[in-house]
Amino acid sequence: MPSISNTKRVKGVSIFRPFVYGSIATPVNPDKKPPNLPPDHTHQWTVSVKGVDGADISHFIKKVQFKLHDTYANPLRTCESPPFEVSETGWGEFEIVIKIWFVPESGEKPQSCFHFLKLHPYIGDKAELDLARQQRRPVLSYMYDELVFNEPTEAMYDILTSKGSAKLPSRARGARGEFTEESEAMELDRLNVGIQIVKENIDKAKETLLAKEKAVAELKAEREKK
């Protein structure tokens, strides 16, 4: 059997795999402080790189490195296997450099992305932010992105298309993990609902855009009158 090449590339093909990176941070409750927590540490947080909806990404990602702020001991943290995440405690927000290495068969260079660690609530008006702080709500900051493999090596193409990632979220699968007609129908339903929601959101965004464009046009016309 001819072996699959690590160097020959599949021409004209581009494969992308969605992933999510970001952080969740929880304020430490002063009444329940872990005993070994440094006194100035106010938050517990986890930064991670993961597949969407729990999808496996470890068949094409070899390792992930998180570069923390220099105030941390050993700021370069490396995860050689999933979960690709680092949990820490601290007091401040800073940018984390995330570097992703792919399996050697891919012949790909590592890719970097940047995540600003968020500890404090930042979405909502003042009252909402105050409430979130008061209730010590976890602060989530996640980005959806896609890893794009242009003209992947034959080996990488094989890995990407035959392993893990091709599978749909497990919820609609049969007990042994296989697709049954029923579970496929359920999955289809779920996808259709998702598509419907996205369509509605696009329509709403279009409406907003139209209204704003109209407002701009009116403002311009008014200015020209003056």
Interaction site with ligand SLL (CB under 6 A): 38, 69, 71-72, 90-94
State the distance between the two ends of the chain, measured CA to CA, in whole angstroms: 79
Cβ of residue 162: shortest distance to ligand SLL, in angstroms? 42
Closer by beta carbon to ligand SLL, 5 or else 26: 26
Closer by beta carbon to ligand SLL, 55 or else 119: 119
Q: Are 44 and 61 in contact, with CB atoms under 8 Å apart?
A: no
Cβ of residue 93: shortest distance to ligand SLL, in angstroms? 5
Closer by beta carbon to ligand SLL, 22 or else 90: 90
d(CA 72, CA 86): 12
Torsion from C-alpha of 6, 8, 14, 18, nearest 10 degrees: 0
Closest to 61 measured CA to CA, from 98, 103, 20, 109: 103
Closer by beta carbon to ligand SLL, 72 or else 101: 72
Cβ of residue 107: shortest distance to ligand SLL, in angstroms? 37
Cβ of residue 117: shortest distance to ligand SLL, in angstroms? 8
Closer by beta carbon to ligand SLL, 38 or else 177: 38
d(CA 70, CA 59): 31
Cβ of residue 91: shortest distance to ligand SLL, in angstroms? 4
Cβ of residue 205: shortest distance to ligand SLL, in angstroms? 35
Closest to 10 measured CA to CA, from 100, 104, 107: 107
Closer by beta carbon to ligand SLL, 16 or else 91: 91
Closest to 86 measured CA to CA, from 67, 100, 114: 67
Closest to 71 measured CA to CA, from 96, 47, 98, 48: 96
d(CA 106, CA 157): 8
